[in-house]
Structure 1
């Protein structure tokens, strides 16, 4: 089979989430399709009920009986909730599984065969420890949402923080039905930076490069970061919040044994300002911890590059800077990041998911913008007002990044689809 004649990219309107269908035209033979993520955390205003199931049905009508493969870049709800078959087995995930994908590509951290035991090689033991940590952090996120968010939302002083915790916390809950469906709907291909994926054999004439995430053995800084601030920090903090046990039954002891105490509105009027201040500070710290979990999960995200002829399509999921560093600092991988044709904007437009070193590789300081017909195409699946705050320059999508993308690339955002179900981009192979 020769190389495809064109690649059609569908960016589905799922609100705050990702869902992309790549269709490779091998006519007169059947097209081959690759679904990259399917999930949403928040639907756009005015969208029909059952949005993600409607999206799955459209994917099914497009794929039909053609060869089909699935990529799940990482475990966040806004990327995998569409793989949930539902409690009745008739949800979006069941529709996708019925298409009988040839295989499912996921990051190495999702491999269920990674176990912590004395006979495992050191590198595999490191992988297992990181995966177990992410599983434990999902338990923490679940308990934050169930136990702390309702309390914070009752107080005007912490209501906004409670909403942020609710959104980010739910995004980090493990999504068991979706995860199990991804593990069982087809053979799995667990990959890491530099590894060959089954996608290359599946797509004749297309080279698929896995640029991330690296394993701990490949990039030791990931191990160091984990020990200092990311995974291990969460374990310690979970215990201090009495949230470390999966049963959630651990109770904290009184702070000052033998002294009387009061809580909430029962405090003396003269002291309530201090109680509220402490509540706000505690909520801010909890929000910071949940964001650390969010970053840790994003740093397990796949970074895939599809190369065909002169076209290079970059799909980095939600990869953050620590995930990017290995590819950017490894010459054999870095070269693939040059001259990108299509860029799926990382993490819904978060600035730390489009590293400045990557940006300068594409657009060196002092360079002039290309003519419209020769520009990189950038695709942004996002929804404003759901993640971060403008007050501290953490809003998603980041205004400065969006402005730069409009200036330097041909940008299409799901926010501009105006009721359309998806956006089509056809890339001719030359």
Structure 2
């Protein structure tokens, strides 16, 4: 029996994720779609065009007279830039075997219910506060800060229509109503999932079920990709210490997010994270709200499904938008670290953000064997530091091939579709 091959096709949605993975062996094929969404401020093209392209690709691969089919749909986490494409009714044409979502979406899981309700309550409360604050401002810079805060809060709410389809609720569904897995399972042995192709398995490594790891978002200063961060922090602290003129509040204290407000209105889940911020050094209430929205955004990132597809020894690593705590959960476990080491493929986390791919992983685990690292990215003006150039340079130093959705370059292994709608890599299994 010949060895299987695996192809990863990355669709260019902009600032968002959509990856179709196909494993083939003889006449057998197994297909997994990881995410389908885009951020409202970073679209490369209408998202419906991408949805149509994915379904057209699946239709072409289907046997005549049968519906387009996916064996698995993975929604790594409920941020809009990862799931909002599933809101379109076009998915009713597609048969799906299973849907995989993080355990926090399981309403029958007590821990998940508390965490999810707290995050949703935080997003709604922040968005309400932001709206009231914006009405009191006529300053362009601070209005921009509130605009970014609002976008983060809305992204954290996700998209209910999309989640309804993924979970088969409220009349939303695919061609069928597929089985839903909430991952990782509490029983460790169920986190190694066999596919229909012999020798091809999926290892689910995250998210962590430890609340402390879910809250841990930023790496220590020594491990950050932003090499100048410490100097900037020191400069900021020095400047604020020398300023003897107290800042005048922009608007009434009712609009300010304080730790007490967080406890009462937003949820205890964010209190410890907010405590790590020195809110007194922030410039104004607009930036307080932006900081709180950023905390919320990153907390949801750490709930990402983190998985490794093992195709007879060729390993492909998909991490969603996992940040520091989620990575610590993986890298501190020897067996999990071995699975993510020396991969053939790595989906660069969180669009190349400085706090999503640990320095330790790139320099000590990813290896120097020509890993292909795909970067799902579209420009968002407010986030000029994404993708982080230090991170990309470190990948290059480790002989990795970076394939960017916004500027793909074809080579012997990388193929680019018309109008850069997609690019793909095919790996023969070892």
Cα distance, 1:381 vs. partner? 0.3
1:321 is aligned, of 320, 324, 328, to 324
Residue aligning to 2:208:
214
| Counterpart Cα distance in 2 of 1:378 and 1:223 | 25
55 and 223 in structure 1: CA distance in 2 versus 1, 3 angstrom threshold: closer
RMSD: 3.1
Residue aligning to 1:187:
179
Cα distance, 1:303 vs. partner? 0.6
Cα contact 1:167–1:386 (8 A) shared by 2? no
Residue aligning to 2:198:
204
| Counterpart Cα distance in 2 of 1:286 and 1:44 | 22
Residue aligning to 2:343:
340
Residue aligning to 2:426:
426
178 and 48 in structure 1: CA distance in 2 versus 1, 3 angstrom threshold: closer
| Counterpart Cα distance in 1 of 2:3 and 2:193 | 14
| Counterpart Cα distance in 1 of 2:131 and 2:2 | 51
Residue aligning to 1:403:
393
2:35 is aligned, of 11, 34, 37, to 37
4 and 77 in structure 1: CA distance in 2 versus 1, 3 angstrom threshold: farther
Q: Is structure 2 residue 144 aligned with structure 1 residue 169?
A: no
Q: Deviations over 1:267-292 (max 9, x none)?
A: xxxxxxxxxx9995101111110011
Residue aligning to 1:262:
none
Cα contact 1:109–1:300 (8 A) shared by 2? yes
Residue aligning to 1:102:
97
| Counterpart Cα distance in 2 of 1:77 and 1:406 | 30
Cα distance, 1:47 vs. partner? 3.1
Cα distance, 1:10 vs. partner? 0.5
Equivalent residue runs for 1:13-412 within 5 Å: 13-29=12-28, 31-42=29-40, 47=45, 50-64=48-62, 65-84=68-87, 91=88, 94-114=89-109, 125-144=110-129, 146-149=131-134, 154-184=138-168, 185=173, 186-192=178-184, 194=188, 196-197=190-191, 199-216=193-210, 221-222=212-213, 236-238=260-262, 281-362=284-365, 370=368, 374-386=369-381, 388-389=383-384, 395-408=385-398, 409-412=400-403
| Counterpart Cα distance in 2 of 1:75 and 1:234 | 26
Residue aligning to 2:9:
10
Cα contact 2:214–2:302 (8 A) shared by 1? no
Cα distance, 1:188 vs. partner? 0.5
Cα contact 2:194–2:202 (8 A) shared by 1? yes
Q: Deviations over 1:301-352 (max 9, x none)?
A: 0111011223110000000011111111112212212111100000000121
| Counterpart Cα distance in 2 of 1:281 and 1:54 | 44
Cα distance, 1:164 vs. partner? 1.8
Cα contact 1:109–1:127 (8 A) shared by 2? yes
428 and 363 in structure 1: CA distance in 2 versus 1, 3 angstrom threshold: closer
Cα distance, 1:357 vs. partner? 2.0
SS in 1 for 2:95: coil
Worse overlay, 154-163 or 306-315:
154-163
Q: Deviations over 1:192-225 (max 9, x none)?
A: 2755348424443212111111113xxx633786
Cα distance, 1:135 vs. partner? 2.3
Cα contact 1:149–1:165 (8 A) shared by 2? no
407 and 126 in structure 1: CA distance in 2 versus 1, 3 angstrom threshold: same
Cα distance, 1:360 vs. partner? 2.8
- TM-score, reference length from structure 1: 0.74
Residue aligning to 2:406:
415
Cα distance, 1:406 vs. partner? 3.0
Cα distance, 1:51 vs. partner? 3.5
Q: Which runs of 5+ in 2 are unaligned?
A: 63-67, 218-256, 268-279, 410-418
| Counterpart Cα distance in 2 of 1:22 and 1:68 | 10
71 and 50 in structure 1: CA distance in 2 versus 1, 3 angstrom threshold: closer
| Counterpart Cα distance in 2 of 1:150 and 1:195 | 53
- TM-score, reference length from structure 2: 0.74
| Counterpart Cα distance in 2 of 1:50 and 1:209 | 31
Count of matched residue positions in the alignment of Structure 1 and Structure 2: 354
Residue aligning to 1:120:
none
Cα contact 2:195–2:202 (8 A) shared by 1? no
